[in-house]
Amino acid sequence: MNVAKIFNTRKITGMAILSALAIVLLYIPVLRFSIFPMAPFLEYDACDIPIMFATFSYGPISGLIVTFIVSVIQGLTISSQSSFYGILMHILATGSFTLSAGFLFAFLKHKKFNQIASLAISTVVGSICWLVVMILANMAITPLFMKVPFSELMKIMLPAIIPFNLIKASVNGTIGAILYIPLHKSVSRYLDKQVVTEADLAMLPPVYQANENNATQDNSESNVVLDSSQNNASIDSIDLDNKSNDDNSI
């Protein structure tokens, strides 16, 4: 696997911009709210939308990296009360979506499958994976970190935890997929564009073009000098051979 093909300067820049956008969305109050009164700690936020877009645009590994960056920054700032628990749960939830939906979408795109159908299938599969992972994670991790009895946790599993994760995954995944449809061509052109094109070179000031021509001529002249010196060396060697033959004949 060639790392240079997976990550280049343009892709890293795009990932950084999307990570920053995800953090900005966390600080918009209207985009952060509780869905179920019985579990007010389960808050919907829109920060996963740029992560979903990064997954569809740059691939699952890039989406996972953005997920990790956003999760750590969120856990250290606006959601610092949840500390390591919040960081871990965010990485497990969104990371399960980015890997499953990202790899599936890349596979379907490689097979020339219909784009909208590929996005829809990938979003559904990613949301299901998110839901399954979070059910298991809440059963195994939440009682340890939140000091909640397992029996009490199971009381809100079906009416709150399961629908919350399904809603958050499907809504953010769908919005990310919808944004990808009109913007993916621009992203592709941005990634595929050469850093310096022939058109850019043609727009250089005349002094640079003159220097380039002079350099070319200098190289040509040096080649001629080298060729002539090589010819002279060959002639000298022939004269020496003839002289040696004459000496031997004497």
Burial 126-161 (b: 16+ CB within 10 A, else e): bbbbbbebbeebbeeebeeeeeeeeeeeeebeeebb
Query: What pLDDT does 185 receive?
Result: 78
> Is the confidence at residue 242, as pLDDT, over 50?
no
Q: How far apart are CA 196 and CA 193, in angstroms?
A: 9
| Residues 97/129, Cβ–Cβ less than 8 Å | yes
The verdict on pTM exceeding 0.85 is: no
Q: What is the pLDDT of residues 205-226, one digit of tens each?
A: 554 445 545 544 555 444 444 4
> Is the confidence at residue 1, as pLDDT, over 50?
yes
Tokens of 211: 């220097």
Q: What is the pLDDT of residues 110-122, one digit of tens each?
A: 999 999 999 999 9
Tokens of 146: 């939140």
